[in-house]
């Protein structure tokens, strides 16, 4: 991830009140105004996060990466979803050939009306934002920056397969090769998403909208409205933030603008033409990083994952999907 232009606007109380009213008046009508769908099990998502980390850092070209990819595909398949693995050899900014695997799991693939939920599953190979320079060449375990988004998707897939009551098709996409990037080079990030957007897993594939989950399990996380999301998919932003309020997690989703971020949703919007938002935290008062204190450090581990954050994001997504 990337570039982060911190444009965060911390509003005065009166300003927040006006913004809240304006946003509510323009909310997408597809959001049901009472809680719907099953209860999102945060303990299950937490376990899925732990199980990915048990493989070790899922850095590109590593045994842990290959083993975890097989595990992710198997978990989605065990819930009755159709799994497609999109393998490609991509080129990193440093010339390294990256053996990439985008994992696509489709709920009711025959349905034309589809929603896209996505996250990246690879780990950053260098903890280059760690406060201790001795750790800068160590890989990141990526409990939050990678595993948390996949964990939420797996729990959503489990619930969808168990209830089989969703009225839309859903494609869960685990993008690979997101975190092999170089500071200052926007094109070096999100390589798996770039490849998928240019080589769709199904000819003519379309989704009504997409939601990217990135770092959705961190302690103290709050999810401000990301800049490109507001530019490309403002109605989806309104829909998701309203869903969070309906299920009681509005405090995790402030109706305030955060940063503008180069992330996997970029190619989904710009190349695939699918309006896609990014649910990603912003820590405006964190000296270590606006992405939080564990971002690209060796401390991105299970000790810093909060089940309450996973629950807030997961239940919000349940509300969005089961409102369709």
Q: What is the DSSP letter of 186?
A: G
Judged by average pLDDT, the poorest of 22-26, 69-73, 162-166 is 22-26
- Taken in order of first residue, the domains within the chain and their CATH numbers are 4-323 (3.40.630.10)
At residue 32, the pLDDT reads: 86
At residue 31, the pLDDT reads: 81
More confident residue, 211 or 164: 211
Strands 209-213 and 114-120, bridge-based pairing: parallel
pLDDT at 14 over 50: no
What pLDDT digit, counting tens, does each position of 105-127 carry?
Answer: 999 999 999 999 999 999 999 99
At residue 319, the pLDDT reads: 98
> How far apart are the C-alpha atoms of 90 and 188, rounded to whole Å?
11
Give the tokens for residue 169. Answer: 């098709």
Burial class (CB in 10 A: 0-12, 13-18, 19+), 316: buried
What average pLDDT does the structure give for the chain?
A: 92
Average of per-residue pLDDT across 126-152: 98
> How far apart are the C-alpha atoms of 266 and 270, rounded to whole Å?
6
> How far apart are the C-alpha atoms of 248 and 147, rounded to whole Å?
25
Residues near 208 by beta carbon (within 8 Å), at least 6 away in sequence: 113, 114, 115, 168
Q: pTM for this one?
A: 0.92
pLDDT at 73 over 60: yes
At residue 206, the pLDDT reads: 97
Give the tokens for residue 321. Answer: 């999907």
Average of per-residue pLDDT across 133-142: 98
Residues near 187 by beta carbon (within 8 Å), at least 6 away in sequence: 194
What pLDDT digit, counting tens, does each position of 212-228 carry?
Answer: 999 999 999 999 999 99
């Amino acid at each position: 991830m990337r570039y982060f232009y911190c444009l965060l606007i911390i509003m005065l109380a009166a300003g927040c009140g006006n913004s809240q009213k304006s946003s509510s008046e323009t909310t997408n009508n597809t959001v049901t105004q009472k809680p719907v769908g099953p209860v999102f099990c945060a303990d299950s998502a937490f376990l899925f996060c732990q199980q990915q980390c048990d493989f070790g850092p899922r850095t590109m070209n590593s045994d842990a990466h290959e083993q975890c990819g097989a595990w992710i595909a198997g978990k989605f398949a065990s819930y009755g979803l159709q799994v497609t693995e999109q393998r490609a050899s991509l080129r990193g900014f440093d010339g390294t050939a990256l053996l990439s695997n985008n994992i696509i799991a489709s709920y009711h693939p025959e349905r034309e009306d589809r929603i896209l939920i996505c996250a990246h599953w690879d780990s950053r190979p260098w903890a280059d934002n760690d406060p201790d320079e001795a750790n800068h060449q160590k890989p990141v375990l990526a409990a939050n920056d990678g595993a948390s988004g996949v964990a939420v998707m797996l729990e959503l897939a489990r619930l969808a397969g168990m209830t089989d009551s969703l009225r839309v098709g859903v494609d869960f996409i685990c993008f690979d090769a997101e975190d092999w990037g170089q500071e200052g080079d926007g094109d070096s990030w999100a390589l798996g998403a770039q490849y998928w957007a240019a080589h769709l897993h199904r000819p003519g594939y379309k989704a009504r909208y997409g939601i990217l989950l990135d770092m959705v399990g961190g302690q103290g996380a709050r999810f401000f409205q990301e800049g490109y999301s507001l530019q490309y998919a403002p109605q989806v932003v309104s829909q998701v933030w309203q869903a969070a309020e309906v299920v009681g997690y509005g405090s995790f989703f402030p109706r305030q603008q955060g940063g503008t971020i180069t992330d996997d949703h970029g190619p989904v919007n710009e190349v695939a033409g699918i309006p896609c938002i990014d649910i990603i935290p912003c820590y405006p008062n964190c000296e270590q990083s606006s992405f939080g204190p564990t971002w690209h450090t060796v401390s991105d581990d299970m000790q810093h994952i909060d089940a309450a954050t996973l629950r807030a994001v997961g239940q919000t997504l349940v509300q969005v999907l089961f409102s369709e």
